[in-house]
Structure 1
Amino acid sequence: MDYHVDQIDRVIQNAISVMEDSKVQVFEICEVARRELLALTLELEKVLRETSDTIDKVDLLERDYRLARIRLTEVSRDFVRFSEHDIKSAYEKATQFQLDLMVYREKESYLKTRRDDLQHRVKNVEISIERADTINLQMSVVLDYLSGDLNQITRILESAKNRQLIGLKIILAQEDERKRVAREIHDGPAQSLANLVLRTEIAERLLDTKDMELVKNELIDLKLQIRIGLEDIRKIIFNLRPMALDDLGLVPTLRKFVQDFEEKTRIRAVFETIGKEKRLPSAMEAAMFRLVQEGYNNALKHAQPTFVSLEMTFNEETVYLTIEDNGVGFHLDVVESRAKTHSHFGLIGMKERVELLQGKMDIESIIGQGTKIKINVPIKSESGKELIAHGE
């Protein structure tokens, strides 16, 4: 048996080596695509500005040409009041406006074609990057499983196939979270730091000019940028794991989350509790916070609501959560069907989290009226241990 295990292990190691090399190549392709996307985006922004300016210029020339033609008609009809020079001047002016209008209309047509082409290319590159990220994510999941102990994997397969499937989905969710955090850091603090380096170099050059007023203004702006970057970092830390969750508990953390949600999105949000509040096991509090976070984010992304509410009810053995919005609503069977073919951690992912907590989740949604998510979780269960075992 050990001999066969060693053979399988060698095969797995070879597979891991090939997949790691492939993952590096996919990453490099993805980085090239990201650089291309940045260049296309900058060019598209330039073309959009030029298109807007050209359209304004065409409108202005059309007005001027119309007035020039009216003027030409006026002077051509009255030879008594207007001299031959006046007629010639009006004719030349109208002709010049006509020529300018033709040139700018041609430029407008070219810019619109260029704009459409760039938008199409940007969309294609974004799709390619998304596909490359998905492939990289799937390869990471497979590598995680292949890198584990073969005997342990065998025991899991023999004893708990369902648990393995749940574990796979959790790893996918973890990889999605890592990818999200990486993007947030890349788009937020990383770019802010790069900008700060540039601004400090500008301030350094301004010192040579001896213009202290310019230096002072630059430093004031630099300090503002640092504060914005610090706020971005704090938001990323809060999204990873709110420190208040460990220090104060679930209810105060949810209260702050709902308040921040309302301030950030300008969507009215309320949070109410019923019953005697109590501290829950740490893993359970973390999981329930993520459920609320995912529910609110789903409402923000898809529901177009003006109001989102959260109600939390405590009794001796169960905690109830109700998340409700007044958004556009949806057909539940359509969403569930899409979830089977798309690996996103939305409402179906929430349901799986609830199942890990040994709880139950019901979704009610009516088109044009909104959505209500009802969750109940038993307090006295082994779900906390199970969540820890899966790295929750």
Structure 2
Amino acid sequence: MQVDAIDRVIKNAIEVMESSKYQIFEICENVRSERDSLYKELQQVMEEASEAIKQVDRLELEYRRTRIRLTEVSRDFHKFREEDIRIAYEAATQLQLQLTIFREKENHLKLRRNDLQKRIKNVDKQVERAETLVSQMNVVLEYLSGDLNQVTRILESAKNRQLLGLKIILAQEDERKRIAREIHDGLAQTMANVVLRTEIAERMLVKNEYEMVREELIELKGQVRGGLEEVRKIIFNLRPMALDDLGLVPTLRKFTQDFEEKTKIRTQLDLIGREVRLPSGMEVAIYRLVQEAFSNCYKHAEASYIQLEVQFQEAQVVIIVRDNGIGFSTDNMEAVYSMGVHFGLLGMRERLELLEGKMDIESAKGVGTKIIMEIPLSAKNREE
């Protein structure tokens, strides 16, 4: 009877999630259509802005010529008829009016362009969130749609938890690759915008509108600087290049410094033993373990101080993370893992098991937490 009840619950959950998934998919498609429309409108605005700039350049040239003509007939009025002076004056006035109109149109198109770019950025974020939700629901549906007995065995069997953890790790790495591709695509669009705005500034220089050029360049510089800073941070989080260039300890030192600056939590890094270079994959895994441990402290421990200790021993690397936070009970960690209270710790344990290592946690309420991670080193894997 219990199995039948679980089966009914799972079937109902599948039906609800399938319906919700298609609704989210429809929303995602509508947002994509809106994004395509915005892109077309942006392209049209850019073309109109380019045409307006050309018209302004042409009118300014003609206006200068008519001003020169008006000056000539006004200065030598005895050589010209009154009708010639009137015609020169009306031509100059008409061109000045047209020039003012096209300048206003150019400024309006620039404002419209900036507004469309902001809207496209917001729509892209909505598409990304919708795609993430659909992906997550597909993962859940894949498990729920399986054989009920198999689901029950997975929930009851601790041996299969390592396989589940490995799938989580692989999914995380796939997600990082996807984000890296999106950064590349987004950066290309940003650079295209930079090229366009640079051309506009160049045209303004030709027209001697130095104040507008200065404002445009200031805004352009801020956009490029902000984008570059964000790209560097994301790239470092995805794959710290300092690991390949400097090694594990300098990269961890920079990570703790950045962590302290961002969270205002005091950090300390202690190195025991002589540092040796490890295989690239192992250094990345250790960095991710430290990153996850610090993230857990920040989210849950309410700590004001975190100490990271890295020990290079003959046969293993030992990573110890201590904090002075609120702590928690470790009487039954398996129950804690199975209830899903600490997914971060579960992910760390799974990573360590893949490295044939182990993790011990010492904690109690009100006394902080100490995480000890031991990673064995075989002689063939050590790089002197």
1:304 matched to which residue of 2?
Answer: 302
Q: CA deviation at 1:140?
A: 9.2
**Structure 1 202/344 Cα, relative in aligned 2: closer, same or farther at 3 Å?**
farther
Within 2, Cα distance between the matches of 1:303 and 1:25?
39
Matched, 1:376 2:378: no
Q: CA deviation at 1:218?
A: 2.2
Structure 1 gap ranges (5+) = 1-21, 39-124, 143-159, 385-392
Q: Equivalent of 2:256, from 253, 258, 263?
A: 258
Deviation readout 1:162-207 (Å, 9 max, x if unpaired): 8754542332333454566578x49985896698589669858966
Q: Equivalent of 1:292, from 290, 293, 297?
A: 290
Alignment of 1:140-155 (within 5 A): none
Q: CA deviation at 1:214?
A: 2.7
Within 2, Cα distance between the matches of 1:264 and 1:381?
38
Within 2, Cα distance between the matches of 1:203 and 1:26?
45
Within 1, Cα distance between the matches of 2:181 and 2:329?
33
Within 2, Cα distance between the matches of 1:340 and 1:127?
28
**Structure 1 224/140 Cα, relative in aligned 2: closer, same or farther at 3 Å?**
farther
Within 1, Cα distance between the matches of 2:214 and 2:361?
56
Contact 1:365–1:372 (Cα < 8 Å) also in 2: yes
Contact 2:356–2:375 (Cα < 8 Å) also in 1: yes
Q: CA deviation at 1:226?
A: 0.4
Alignment of 1:151-300 (within 5 A): 164-178=163-177, 185=183, 211-300=209-298
SS in structure 2 at match of 1:362: strand
Alignment of 1:11-160 (within 5 A): 28-29=25-26, 31=28, 131-137=133-139
Amino acid at match of 1:310: L
Structure 1 window deviating more from structure 2 (26-35 vs 235-244): it is 26-35
Contact 2:275–2:312 (Cα < 8 Å) also in 1: yes
Within 2, Cα distance between the matches of 1:197 and 1:248?
35
Within 2, Cα distance between the matches of 1:234 and 1:165?
32
**Structure 1 225/139 Cα, relative in aligned 2: closer, same or farther at 3 Å?**
farther
2:76 matched to which residue of 1?
Answer: none
TM-score (normalizing by structure 1) = 0.52
1:63 matched to which residue of 2?
Answer: none
Within 1, Cα distance between the matches of 2:174 and 2:23?
16
1:52 matched to which residue of 2?
Answer: none
The alignment's C-alpha RMSD in Å is 4.6
Q: CA deviation at 1:260?
A: 1.8
Amino acid at match of 2:347: G
Within 1, Cα distance between the matches of 2:369 and 2:225?
37
1:357 matched to which residue of 2?
Answer: 355
Contact 1:328–1:367 (Cα < 8 Å) also in 2: yes
SS in structure 2 at match of 1:346: helix
Q: CA deviation at 1:245?
A: 1.0
SS in structure 2 at match of 1:278: coil
SS in structure 1 at match of 2:314: coil
**Structure 1 187/137 Cα, relative in aligned 2: closer, same or farther at 3 Å?**
farther
SS in structure 1 at match of 2:372: strand
Contact 1:33–1:129 (Cα < 8 Å) also in 2: no
Matched, 1:318 2:320: no
**Structure 1 199/329 Cα, relative in aligned 2: closer, same or farther at 3 Å?**
farther
Contact 2:180–2:235 (Cα < 8 Å) also in 1: no
**Structure 1 161/367 Cα, relative in aligned 2: closer, same or farther at 3 Å?**
closer
**Structure 1 192/126 Cα, relative in aligned 2: closer, same or farther at 3 Å?**
closer
Q: CA deviation at 1:32?
A: 5.3
Amino acid at match of 1:231: E
Amino acid at match of 1:306: S
Q: Which has the higher contact order (CA 8 A, sep 6+)?
A: 2
TM-score (normalizing by structure 2) = 0.53
**Structure 1 317/226 Cα, relative in aligned 2: closer, same or farther at 3 Å?**
same
**Structure 1 250/237 Cα, relative in aligned 2: closer, same or farther at 3 Å?**
same
Amino acid at match of 1:171: L
Structure 2 gap ranges (5+) = 1-18, 36-126, 145-158
Amino acid at match of 1:132: V
Amino acid at match of 1:31: C
Within 2, Cα distance between the matches of 1:216 and 1:320?
55
